[in-house]
């Protein structure tokens, strides 16, 4: 701790000490680089494409950000992303209930999964890594077993709900999906909760120093359980969105998303160990990793090589964050 | 003398076969600083934990101003006006001074469902408190705790207890890891808290610090009270050390 490093000593210092500084800078560099290398990158078609899938991963990342700020994380989000739409469309396709009700049931079941995660972590005091790893396999297993691995069709349905969730429309030449606005809406609400609300203060305290928080009367376990439920809800909603957009509910979809999402959140400047999180940073982190995947393909890097780029980027980001964290106690890590 | 602020009667606590406290009677009067002394394992921490709500007693009763009280958790203790400042840290280092001061009791503004913190009020009150507690350097209330020195952190903890008008402030090793000047600051603070109508329990291994500030010393040994009305002005550090270790008794026997 460097006691002379008080904020306000200089504007540059203050700017570089905000956790969003690094992801913002790198995102800018990324956009400029890709735009210079290939004109297609900033084309209408490509940007529309980018904005179609990004909100789906982004919504999971928003939930994960809040959960990680409270000192926990959730590996089961990818499975919930795949399972919830399978459940919803099975209920509908089998004629058991109307689509709207099926969606509500799907979301309730997902929130229940989040509750079970939270209960295991806070009541049985099992680390969230183990609890959510188990939940990840259980939920995925249920999705695969009940469908025998086959996707559920979604193209026969007609409902106002589908337009509301992920209907597409054109703005000028841009094809946009409603999911983009849901993503922005969720980000604004969670950003408000994290920075302005009393609950947000509790979330940060629960992750920063749970013993101190508890001693002040903060209900740490209840707070964390709510956040597990929120994370599960957002993963389920993202999964439903995705199933409608691609016209299929595949029991395998979402595999591996949990790690990609955690990478996005950490790159955005949220501390893996908890106590500090930024919704704006996560939005930047999500855009960064998505644009990188997209741009790498556009400039002609072989598809099989692109994980190398993602991996190296994550390592570089971590190193830079760690370096900034040493210079400013609040700057990272 | 009026009724005591806190009275603990016949408090016992066992952890399995281990008896940590064995029928302890302990009282704190209004406006006094009590030094609670004892060697490691004497039961000081257990007694304090029972009072601050992190541990429940196996047996015994607690009275606050003569009224029987149930302390099942920290929230109960805080509601009864009992604040505990732990030795390691009672603060969340990632959060600002103002956010720490009001943690768990954040004032809100606007419609209830918005759950919005009244940040302006929080920063205003925190700024004023920082001046009151004598942090001379100009530190904004939005500064994260991680930027503060050990003494400044203890000062923030104590300021918080003072602000919320706790009747009893329990300080568990508040002078640990502090420099000489910072220690003096904390001790000055404790006197000021007493003079403004609070009672304090001061736990420390450093008997010199205890002697400088307390009105009365209580000594625990192996889960029992061995002395409960030692006046630091009428005794010596050596005599108290003998009480703590039990050497005097062995010699007398």
Q: Cβ atoms within 10 A of the Cβ of B162, count?
A: 19
The whole-number average pLDDT for the span A172-176 is: 83
Domain residue limits at A275: 11-327
Q: With CB atoms and an 8 Å threshold, state whether A330 touches B94.
A: yes
Assign residue A133 the CATH number of its domain. Answer: 1.10.3470
Report the number of distinct structural domains present in chain A.
Answer: 1
B23 vs chain A: nearest CA distance in angstroms?
26
A216: contact with B, CB 8 A cutoff: yes
Within-domain flag for B22: yes
Contact between A48 and A176 under an 8 Å Cβ cutoff? The reply is yes
Q: With CB atoms and an 8 Å threshold, state whether B91 touches A212.
A: yes
Q: Which of A198, A213, A215 sits opposite B84 (nearest CB)?
A: A215
Average pLDDT, chain B: 86
A7: contact with B, CB 8 A cutoff: yes
Q: Which of B103, B115, B146 sits opposite A216 (nearest CB)?
A: B103
Within-domain flag for B245: yes
Is residue A324 classed exposed, middle or buried when 0-12, 13-18 and 19+ CB atoms within 10 A define those classes? buried
**How far apart (Å, rounded) are the C-alpha atoms in residues A327 and A9?**
13
Per-range mean pLDDT, top range of A62-66, A266-270, B5-9, B217-221 = A62-66
- Work out the pLDDT band at A157, boundaries 50, 70, 90: confident
Q: What would the pLDDT profile of B84-100 be if each residue is shown by its tens digit? A: 887 666 899 999 999 99
pLDDT at A315 over 90: no
- What is the DSSP code string of chain B? ----SEEEEEEEEEETTEEEEEEEEEEE-TT-EEEEE--TTSSHHHHHHHHHTSS--SEEEEEETTEEE---SHHHHHHTTEEEE-SS-SS-TTSBHHHHHTTTS--EES-GGG-EE-HHHHHHHHHHHHHHTT--S---TTSBGGGS-HHHHHHHHHHHHHHTT-SEEEEESTTTT--HHHHHHHHHHHHHHHHTT-EEEEE-S-HHHHHHH-SEEEEEETTEEEEEEE-GGGS-HHHHHHHHHTHHHHHH-
Compute the Cα dihedral for B246, B247, B248, B251 and give only its sign.
positive
Q: Enter the tokens of residue A7.
A: 């904020």
Q: Which of A6, A198, A275 sits opposite B115 (nearest CB)?
A: A198
Report pLDDT for B215: 93
Chain A partners of B150 at a C-beta cutoff of 8 Å? none
Contact between B223 and B42 under an 8 Å Cβ cutoff? The reply is yes
pLDDT at A7 over 50: no
Chain A partners of B94 at a C-beta cutoff of 8 Å? 204, 207-209, 271, 275-276, 330
Contact between A283 and A180 under an 8 Å Cβ cutoff? The reply is no
Chain B partners of A6 at a C-beta cutoff of 8 Å? 139, 143, 147
Chain B partners of A1 at a C-beta cutoff of 8 Å? 146-147
Size of interface A-B (CB pairs under 8 A): 97
Chain A partners of B104 at a C-beta cutoff of 8 Å? 202, 213, 216-218
pLDDT at B1 over 60: no
A13 vs chain B: nearest CA distance in angstroms?
14
ipTM: 0.80
Within-domain flag for A234: yes
Q: In what order do the strands lie in the sheet with B199-203?
A: B82-85, B168-172, B199-203, B33-37, B216-221, B224-230
Within-domain flag for A5: no
* Contacts for A86 with CB less than 8 Å, ≥ 6 apart: A143, A146, A147, A152, A249, A250, A251
**How far apart (Å, rounded) are the C-alpha atoms in residues A3 and B176?**
19
Q: Which of A3, A213, A215 sits opposite B147 (nearest CB)?
A: A3
Within-domain flag for B114: no
pLDDT at A312 over 80: yes
Q: Cβ atoms within 10 A of the Cβ of A115, count?
A: 15
Annotate chain A with three-state secondary structure. CCCCCCCCCCHHHHHHHCCCHHHHHHHHHHHHHHHHHCHHHHCHHHHHHHHHHHHHHHHHHHHHHHHHHCCCCCCCHHHHHHHHHHHHHHHHHCCCCCHHHHHHHHHHHHHHHHHHHHHHHHCCCCCHHHHHHHHHHHHHHHHHHHHCCCCEECCCCCCHHHHHHHCEEEECCEEEEHHHHHHHHHHHHHHHHHHHEHHHHHHHHHHHCHHHHHHCCCCHHHHHHHHHHHHHHHHHHHHHHHHHHHCEECCCCCCCHHHHHHHHHHHCCCCCCCCCCCHHHHHHHHHHHHHHHHHHHHCCCCHHHHHHHHHHHHHHHHHHHHHHHHHCCCCCC
Contact between A73 and A127 under an 8 Å Cβ cutoff? The reply is no
Within-domain flag for A4: no
Annotate A74-131 with three-state secondary structure. CCCHHHHHHHHHHHHHHHHHCCCCCHHHHHHHHHHHHHHHHHHHHHHHHCCCCCHHHH
Report pLDDT for A262: 93
Within-domain flag for B150: no
Q: Which of A6, A213, A329 sits opposite B92 (nearest CB)?
A: A213
Which residue do the tokens 């504007």 mark?
A11
* Nearest residue on chain B to A6, alpha-carbon basis: B147
| Residue of A213, A216, A269, A270 to mutate, interface with B, max B Cβ within 10 Å | A216
User: By percentage, how much of chain A surpasses pLDDT 70?
Assistant: 94
Q: From B18, B21, B35, B25, select the one nearest B4 (Cα to Cα).
A: B25
Q: Cβ atoms within 10 A of the Cβ of A164, count?
A: 11
Report the number of distinct structural domains present in chain B.
Answer: 1
- Work out the pLDDT band at B135, boundaries 50, 70, 90: low
Domain residue limits at B80: 6-91+166-252
**How far apart (Å, rounded) are the C-alpha atoms in residues B6 and B16?**
28
Report pLDDT for B54: 85
Within-domain flag for B75: yes
**How far apart (Å, rounded) are the C-alpha atoms in residues B226 and B247?**
12
**How far apart (Å, rounded) are the C-alpha atoms in residues A120 and A126?**
6
Assign residue B173 the CATH number of its domain. Answer: 3.40.50.300
Report pLDDT for B87: 63
Phi then psi for residue A152, to 5 deg, are -90, 135
B51 vs chain A: nearest CA distance in angstroms?
12
The whole-number average pLDDT for the span A195-212 is: 94
pLDDT at B238 over 70: yes
The whole-number average pLDDT for the span A28-47 is: 90
Within-domain flag for A209: yes
B246 vs chain A: nearest CA distance in angstroms?
34
Chain A partners of B117 at a C-beta cutoff of 8 Å? 196-198, 200-201
Within-domain flag for A6: no
pLDDT at A316 over 70: yes
């Amino acid at each position: 701790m460097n006691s002379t490093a008080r904020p306000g000593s200089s504007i540059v210092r203050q700017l570089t000490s905000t956790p969003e500084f690094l992801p913002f800078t790198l995102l800018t560099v990324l956009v400029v680089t890709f735009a210079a290398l290939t004109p297609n990158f900033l084309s209408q078609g490509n940007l529309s494409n980018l904005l179609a899938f990004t909100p789906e991963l982004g919504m999971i990342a928003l939930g994960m950000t809040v959960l990680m700020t409270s000192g926990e994380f959730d590996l089961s989000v990818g499975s919930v992303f795949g399972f919830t739409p399978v459940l919803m469309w099975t209920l509908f396709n089998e004629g058991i209930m109307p689509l709207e009700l099926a969606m509500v049931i799907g979301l309730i079941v997902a929130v229940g999964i989040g509750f079970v995660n939270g209960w295991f972590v806070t009541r049985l005091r099992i680390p969230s890594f183990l609890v959510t790893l188990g939940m990840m396999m259980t939920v995925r297993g249920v999705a695969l077993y009940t469908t025998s691995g086959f996707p559920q069709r979604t193209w026969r349905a007609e409902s106002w709900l589908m337009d509301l969730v992920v209907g597409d429309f054109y703005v000028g030449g841009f094809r946009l999906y409603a999911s983009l606005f849901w993503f922005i809406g969720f980000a604004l609400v969670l950003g408000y909760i994290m920075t302005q609300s009393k609950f947000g203060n509790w979330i940060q305290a629960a992750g920063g120093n749970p013993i101190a928080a508890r001693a002040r009367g903060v209900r740490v376990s209840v707070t964390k359980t709510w956040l597990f439920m929120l994370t599960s809800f957002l993963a389920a909603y993202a999964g439903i969105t995705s199933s409608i957009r691609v016209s299929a509910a595949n029991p395998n979809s979402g595999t591996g998303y949990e790690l990609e999402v955690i990478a996005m959140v950490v790159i955005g400047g949220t501390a893996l160990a908890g106590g500090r999180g930024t919704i704006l940073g996560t939005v930047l982190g999500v855009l960064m990793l998505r644009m990188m995947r997209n741009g790498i393909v556009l400039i002609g890097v072989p598809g099989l090589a692109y994980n190398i780029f993602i991996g190296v980027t994550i390592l570089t980001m971590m190193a830079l964050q760690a370096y900034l964290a040493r210079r400013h106690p609040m700057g990272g890590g | 003398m009026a009724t005591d602020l806190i009275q603990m009667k016949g408090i016992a606590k066992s952890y399995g076969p281990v008896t940590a406290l064995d029928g302890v009677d302990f009282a704190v009067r209004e406006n006094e600083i009590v030094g609670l002394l004892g060697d490691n394992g004497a039961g000081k921490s257990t007694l304090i934990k029972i009072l601050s709500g992190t541990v429940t007693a196996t047996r015994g009763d607690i009275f606050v101003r003569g009224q029987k009280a149930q302390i099942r958790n920290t929230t109960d203790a805080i509601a009864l006006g009992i604040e505990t400042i732990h030795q390691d840290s009672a603060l969340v280092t990632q959060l600002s001074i103002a956010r720490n001061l009001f943690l768990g009791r954040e004032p809100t503004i606007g419609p209830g469902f918005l759950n919005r913190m009244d940040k302006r009020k929080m920063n205003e009150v925190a700024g004023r408190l920082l001046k009151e507690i004598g942090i001379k350097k100009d530190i904004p209330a939005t500064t994260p705790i991680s930027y503060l020195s050990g003494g400044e952190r203890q000062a923030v903890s104590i300021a918080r207890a003072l602000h919320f008008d706790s009747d009893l402030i329990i300080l568990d090793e508040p002078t640990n890891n502090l420099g000489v000047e910072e220690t003096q600051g904390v001790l000055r603070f404790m006197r000021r808290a007493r003079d403004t109508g609070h009672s304090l329990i001061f736990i420390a291994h450093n008997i010199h610090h205890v002697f400088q500030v307390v009105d009365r010393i209580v000594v625990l040994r192996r889960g029992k009270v061995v002395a409960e009305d030692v006046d630091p002005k009428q005794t010596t550090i050596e005599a108290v050390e003998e009480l703590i270790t039990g050497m005097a008794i062995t010699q007398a026997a």
